[in-house]
Amino acid sequence: MCCLCLSSFFPRLKILIINEKEIYVLGKNKFSRNREMPFEDMVYYILLNKGKSTVLELDDYYYEKYGFDRLPISKQALSQQRQYLNPSIFIKANEQSIKDIYSSDVYSLEDFKGFKVMGIDGSQVDVPNTPVTKKEFEVGLVGLKEVESPKARISILADLKNDFVIDSVISPLKIGEEVLAFENIENASKTIDLEKTIIIFDRYYASTESVHAINRKK
Least confident of 105-109, 186-190, 193-197: 105-109
Confidence of residue 134 (pLDDT cuts 50, 70, 90): confident
- In this structure, are residues 153 and 122 in contact, taking their beta carbons and an 8 Å threshold? yes
Phi and psi at 29, nearest 5°, equal: 65, 20
Rounded CA Rg of the chain: 20
Q: Residues, the chain, total?
A: 218
Report, as an integer, the average pLDDT of 176-186. 92
pTM of the model: 0.78
- In this structure, are residues 86 and 26 in contact, taking their beta carbons and an 8 Å threshold? yes
d(CA 12, CA 9): 9
Q: Is pLDDT larger for residue 8 or for residue 37?
A: 37
Report, as an integer, the average pLDDT of 112-129. 94
Question: pLDDT, tens digit, for every residue of 9-31?
Answer: 667 777 888 888 888 888 777 77
Q: What is the largest CA-CA distance in the chain?
A: 62
What residues have CB less than 8 Å from 20, skipping those under 6 apart?
none
The neighbour count for residue 159, using CB atoms within 10 Å, is 22
d(CA 42, CA 35): 11
